[in-house]
Amino acid sequence: MSIFTLGLFSCASSSEETIKDNDFQVQLQSYKPKNLKQDKKILLILPPTGGMNFIDKSYARRFARAGIKTKILKNWTNDNEQNIELSIHTRFYKRAQRAIDLVLEKYPDHDFWLLGTSVGGLHGSITTARQPQVKKALFIVAGADIASILVNSTQEALQTLKKLRFEKYKYINDEEYLQALRAVMPYEVQKLDIPKGKLLGLIISENDKVVPTKNQLLLEQLWNAKRVSTPNHGHTPSVVYTWLFNSNKVKNFFLK
């Protein structure tokens, strides 16, 4: 059976799930396997920019087929706020951690495994360092030093934002912009305690300019993480390549 078939047909049922905390709301897509094999474990998938996509759903079905309760973090309150002011990063990362924390808090008797891609990996790496409930984590084309990533990323939206900020705030150079960003970042993995007793894995893109390869290597170095695969592609092609050809490696990282 091909990977495409596995992505389209599943013995798991899917449903939407909402968690509320006062005026804050988190939406999940939950996959319940028919043949549950890990009763007290949940795999939480953290999507890249743009939100839940076909690849995330394919991974979720694959893990549900393997008997794992799986959830995709779809969105949370104000996750799409747009503003050129620097403090948006403070709110963005705090809200993301609040959203993930609410999921963990709803299932206090469960251990969590995290699978995060790109910005989902950035959020997940912070959670892995902060939350003892997370026991395993695999991140695809994620990295450390978020401020540096924001400065150096070639992603079109970040390049446009950088240009607008240089015009508004009159930054002299990238270093000045970097220090301004570091002042507003609520979390940076390199400043958090290194996770102890956790299985940590990375898929690193050798030619990434969106989340620069050097930042991915920094995360690997900080955590002494296990490198699961090293695609020789750019950012998005590495995500697609991993799904097409290394989905079994992703699954086996958690299940073996």
**What was the pLDDT predicted at 11?**
58
Q: What is the mean pLDDT of residues 50-57?
A: 97
pLDDT(7) > 80: no
pLDDT for the residue numbered 256: 86
Q: Are strands 68-76 and 24-32 parallel, antiparallel or unpaired?
A: antiparallel
Q: pLDDT tens-digit profile of 24-51?
A: 999 999 999 999 998 899 999 999 999 9
* 245: number of Cβ within 10 Å: 12
User: From CA 33, how far away is CA 56, in angstroms rounded?
Assistant: 16
What tens digit of pLDDT does each residue of 142-194 get? 999 999 999 999 999 999 999 999 999 999 999 999 999 999 999 999 999 99
| Structural contact between residues 249 and 229, judged by C-beta atoms closer than 8 angstroms | yes
The count of structural domains within the chain is 1
pLDDT for the residue 8: 45
Q: Output the pLDDT for position 176.
A: 98
Q: What is the CATH number of the domain that holds 16?
A: 3.40.50.1820
Question: Alpha-carbon distance 172 to 207, whole Å?
Answer: 28
Select from 210, 198, 256, 216 the least CA-distant residue to 236: 210
**Residue 12 scores a pLDDT above 90:** no
Reported confidence tier of residue 1, pLDDT bands at 50, 70, 90: very low
The domain in which residue 126 lies consists of 3-255
